[in-house]
Amino acid sequence: MADVHDKATRSKNMQAIKTEDTFIEQRMTQLLSSLGVEFQVQVKELPGKPDFVIDYYKAIIFTHGCFWHRHDCHLFKIPQTRTEFWLNKIEDNRQRDRKVIHELTQSDWKVLIIWECAIRGKHKLSDLMLSERIEEWLCSYDSSAEIGTLGMKKYLVG
pTM (2 d.p.): 0.82
The CATH code for residues 19-154 is 3.40.960.10
Respond yes or no: is residue 64 known to be catalytic. Answer: no
Encode pLDDT of 90-111 as tens digits.
999 999 999 999 999 999 999 9
Question: Taking the domains of the chain in order of start, what are their residue ranges?
Answer: 19-154
Is residue 69 annotated as a catalytic residue, yes or no?
yes
CA distance 38 to 57: 10
Kindly report, residue by residue over 109-118, the tens digit of the pLDDT. Answer: 999 999 999 9
Of 64, 71, 97, 149, catalytic: 97
The CA-based angle 114-149-111, given to 5 degrees, is 25
CB 131 within 8 A of CB 31: yes
